[in-house]
A and B are shown apart, each in its own frame.
Chain A
Amino acid sequence: MALPVSPPPDPDQDAALASRGAGDGLAEGTTNVPASTSLIAEDLASPTPQHSGAVARPAAASRRRLTMRKAAPYLFISPFFILFLVFGLFPLLFSIYVSFFQWDAATGLGGMEWVGIDNYAFVLMQDDWFHKSLYNTAWMGIAGGLPQHLVALPLAFFLHTAFGRWRNTFVGIYFLPFITSTVAISLVFTSLFSREFGVVNAMLGALLHLENIDWWQPQYSKTMISFVVWWRYVGFNTVLYLSAIQTIPRDLFEAAIMDGASRWQQFRHITLPMLKPMIYFAVTLTIIGSLQLFEEPFVLTAASAGDGRMSGSGGIDQAGKSAAMHVFTTGFGENDFGTASAVAWILFMIIALMTMLNNRLLGRDTEGR
């Protein structure tokens, strides 16, 4: 942000210039300022009446004005940084700090009690609910995440090859769930999955002659949540893949056609390898998103509680409780912010680890294409 600023102009010289300028009938701004100096400097040096009038004005005034000029840009961008510091960086650092304390927030800062790594040890060794929620998260991450890509990839290829003019309309429709409120989606699915009157059970009954399923039973709830998650994000991934497919040169497909590749072989041998960088990116997003899964199970499992509230705690036997929900219940349910912070940081480390693994698996050899 270093602006080239020339030294403050000498007011006497300014005045002289101004009078000469007026005498010559020249427009304002024609001064001795070289063309290379900044706009700010030029502006300062221009013989405004204020300058030329107050010949004896001390140079300090203009120097003060100069520092204001310099400070202004920082002032303008400061709201973001202030908000980030207060609501972003501070809580982040504070949660690390808290994770080494036993702390009930209601007791105020004075009630913090140093416990070292006890919180971490407890979470890793003894917190059965955390282990269960982690298992649930992994289960739902795979069941809800993997099919997103298995469907989105061929779907994007299909949309690319089969639809000309209507492609964007279809993409828009697929994208809709992604921008819809999770609460609204979860509410709709709550009624779709309803045991007695739900459309899902009606369809399964008609097609497979199954009995009505109570989707909130522990053995089914993860499936239901995974389905909603899949449904919500498959369109987003399709859009990612479609945009990447559109950058593959058409020549490559034509060359493959000439080489005798069928649609499937074009997909297998051209599209898929060319999409590898995008697959890496999209899978990374899915991994991070799955491990942070919160809203869908939070709202969906509320229905089983039957108390009309919007906040679920994981359903019967907490079968639908995700790790992020565990952070929430530990912190805001049990007021144990130390443990909750430890869980959050452990979750963060798991995310980092999984992302690294994914990088090993898919990220190699994707640069420089």
Chain B
Amino acid sequence: MAGLSLRNVRKTYTDGTDVIHGIDLEVQDGEFLVFVGPSGCGKSTLLRMIAGLEDITGGDILIGGERINDVEPSRRGVAMVFQSYALYPHMTVAENMGFALKLAGESRDAIGAAVGRAAEILQISHLLDKRPKTLSGGQRQRVAIGRAIVRKPRVFLFDEPLSNLDAALRVQMRIELARLHGEIGNTMIYVTHDQVEAMTLGDRIALFNAGRIEQVGRPLDLYERPASRFVAGFLGSPRMNFLRCEPAPSASTGSLRLRLGDAGEISLNRPVGAAVPVALGVRPEHISLTRTGDGLRARVELLEHLGDSVIMYASLAGQRDPVAVRLSAHPDGLEPGATVGLLPQAEHVAIFDAAGRAMSSA
């Protein structure tokens, strides 16, 4: 087991596409780090560079303090679980899992023992003699993970391993992956599109944007204290509401007061900074309904019943996008067309400057 360091890592593909623009990242020994980000931002590319399947154009990658830029993929001590599972169709499950050891020239007994142990951890001992094509998606996924475990890697790499599974199985495998990480305690890097996977699995999340890391931190830190508008908008569903705002002219006292077009003003219990805030961000669950007249004036557009909660979409004067509000229940008499007052909870409000950076909160 070992930690992983990325130092100013860059990647330019041979066709000239610049994909990774200098990434610095420290992954602790035994940590579960999740890479998230929009499609095409270079998550897979970076993972494949760590694995050794892509050349490293610039910078260094270290595993356990050792520079591995020029080390062969199989000698880096990393194992990768592919999105497609990439199981060898002509081999049995046991042969699939033991293939690396066989190539390494281990004895039959040693291979059998290692495969048996891994199969036990993943509860696939009864499948060892089967061919991949006879397995279900979830079972194939387990075999793919088992093949990685057998190699006893220092670092596990997962590239969207659950995206081919249906929703229920995904939840189950997610829980098992968390259990597996607890059990074997290796360093794991996990690429996903799925916010829930990112929030629940990761010790930390690295959020990528166009070949750069936008923010790294614990899931709740990213959720509650996003460093930028991009991060704030990426995590959370429905996503954070962004409202255009400007400092209110009456802001003379020490605390910050923002004006949101014609909808009204809100005052935040925080000092006026040097930069000018241009956008106010507030999550749907951090807005409460008040009587008309109090708070921001809004008109109800649409109500979505999710069962456990209701999402209300309301339009504010002077704002382009409707505001989403999460309500725990459907209040009496609330209909599309009604006028309501919205009260963002000041302590949960984030404000952003013109460059999209979050301005120091509280």
The answer to whether A and B assemble together is: yes
B87 contact set on A, CB distance < 8 A: 255
What CA separation (Å) do A369 and B134 show in the bound complex?
10
Q: Is the CB of A258 within 8 A of B79?
A: yes
A252 partner residues in chain B, CB cutoff 8 A: 86, 88
Q: Mark B345-362, 1 if CB is under 8 A from A, else 0.
A: 000000000000000000
Is the C-beta of A251 less than 8 angstroms from some C-beta in chain B? Answer: yes
Residues 238 to 259 of chain A near chain B (Cβ within 8 Å): 249, 251-252, 254-259
Decide if B53 touches A260 in the complex (CB within 8 Å). Answer: no
- A249–B88 Cα gap in the complex (Å)? 10
Q: Are B89 and A255 touching (Cβ within 8 A)?
A: no
CB closest chain-B residue, reference A254:
B53
* Minimum CB distance partner of A261 in chain B: B103
B204 to chain A, nearest CB (A): 25
Is B53 a contact partner of A257 (Cβ separation < 8 A)? yes
B163 within 8 A of A: no
Chain A residues lying within 8 Å of B78, measured Cβ to Cβ, are 258
Interface pair A257/B90, CB less than 8 Å apart: no
One digit per residue, 1 when the CB lies within 8 angstroms of any chain B CB and 0 when it does not, for chain A 325-368 equals 00000000000000000000000000000000000000000001
Residue of B nearest to A273 (CB): B90
Contact check, B84 vs A265: say whether CB atoms are below 8 A apart: no
CB neighbours of B100 from chain A (8 A): 258-260
Docked-complex contact B84 and A259, CB < 8 angstroms = no
| CB pair A255 B88 closer than 8 Å | yes
Residues in chain A near residue B3, CB distance under 8 A: none
Across-interface contacts of A249 in B (CB, < 8 A): 84, 86
Count B-side interface residues using an 8 Å CB cutoff.
24
Q: Would B103 and A258 count as touching, CB distance under 8 A?
A: no
The total of chain A residues at the interface (CB under 8 A) is 19
Q: Does A274 contact B (CB under 8 A)?
A: yes
A369 and B89: CB pair below 8 A?
A: yes
Determine if B133 is an interface residue (Cβ-Cβ < 8 Å): yes
Residues of B within 8 A of A256 (CB): 88, 99
A265 CB contacts on chain B under 8 angstroms: 103
B33 at the interface (CB under 8 A from A): no
Q: Is B82 an interface residue (CB 8 A)?
A: yes
B290 on the A face (CB < 8 A):
no
A251 to B75, CA, bound (A): 19
Question: B90–A258 contact, CB under 8 A?
Answer: no
Query: Could you say which residues of chain A place their CB within 8 Å of the CB of B103?
Result: 259-261, 265
A282 lies within 8 A of chain B by Cβ: no
Contacts of B73 in A (CB 8 A): 257-258, 260
Closest partner residue, chain B, to A368 (CB atom): B133
User: Which residues from chain B contact A259 at a C-beta distance below 8 Å?
Assistant: 74, 99-100, 103, 147, 151
Q: How far is the CB of A9 from chain B (nearest CB, A)?
A: 55
Q: Mark A269-297, 1 if CB is under 8 A from B, else 0.
A: 11001101000000000000000000000
- Is the Cβ of A258 less than 8 Å from the Cβ of B84? no
Interface presence of B312 (CB below 8 A)? no
CA–CA, A190 and B316, complex, Å: 90
Determine the distance from Cα of A254 to Cα of B85 in the docked complex, in whole angstroms.
11
| Residue in contact with B89 in the complex, picked from A254, A260, A274, CB distance below 8 Å | A274
B25-75 residues at the A interface, CB under 8 angstroms: 51-53, 72-75
Task: Say whether B324 faces chain A, with CB atoms less than 8 Å apart.
Answer: no
User: Does residue B275 face the partner (Cβ distance < 8 Å to A)?
Assistant: no
Question: How many angstroms from the CA of A259 to the CA of B75 in the assembled complex?
Answer: 9
In the complex the two chains form, is A251's CB within 8 Å of B84's CB? yes
Q: Tell me the complex Cα distance, A203–B272, Å.
A: 91
Q: Which residue of A lies closest to B72 (CB)?
A: A260
- CB-CB nearest in chain B for A272: B90
Which B residue sits closest to A248, measured CB to CB? B89
Q: Decide: A254 and B82 in contact? CB cutoff 8 A.
A: yes
Q: How far is the CB of B225 from chain A (nearest CB, A)?
A: 37
- Taking the closest CB of chain B, its distance from the CB of A263, in whole angstroms, is 12
The yes or no answer to B266 lying at the interface (CB within 8 A) is no
- The answer, yes or no, to whether B104 is at the interface (CB within 8 Å) is yes
Rounded to whole angstroms, the CA-CA distance of A270 and B99 in the bound complex is 11
* Distance of A276 Cα from B89 Cα, bound (Å): 12
Most chain B CB atoms below 10 A, which of A255, A269, A274, A369: A255
B188 at the interface (CB under 8 A from A): no
> What distance in Å separates the Cβ of A286 from its nearest Cβ neighbour in chain B?
23
List residues of chain B with CB within 8 A of the CB of A255: 80, 82, 86-88, 147
> Can you list 20 residue pairs at the A/B interface with Cβ under 8 Å?
A249-B84, A251-B82, A251-B84, A254-B80, A255-B82, A255-B88, A257-B73, A257-B74, A258-B73, A258-B79, A258-B100, A259-B99, A259-B100, A260-B103, A261-B103, A270-B88, A274-B89, A274-B90, A369-B90, A369-B133
9 new A-B contacts, CB < 8 A, other than A254-B82, A257-B53, A369-B90, are A251-B84, A254-B53, A255-B80, A255-B86, A256-B99, A257-B73, A257-B74, A258-B79, A269-B88
B residues bordering A, Cβ < 8 Å? Answer: 51-53, 72-75, 78-80, 82, 84, 86-90, 99-100, 103-104, 133, 147, 151
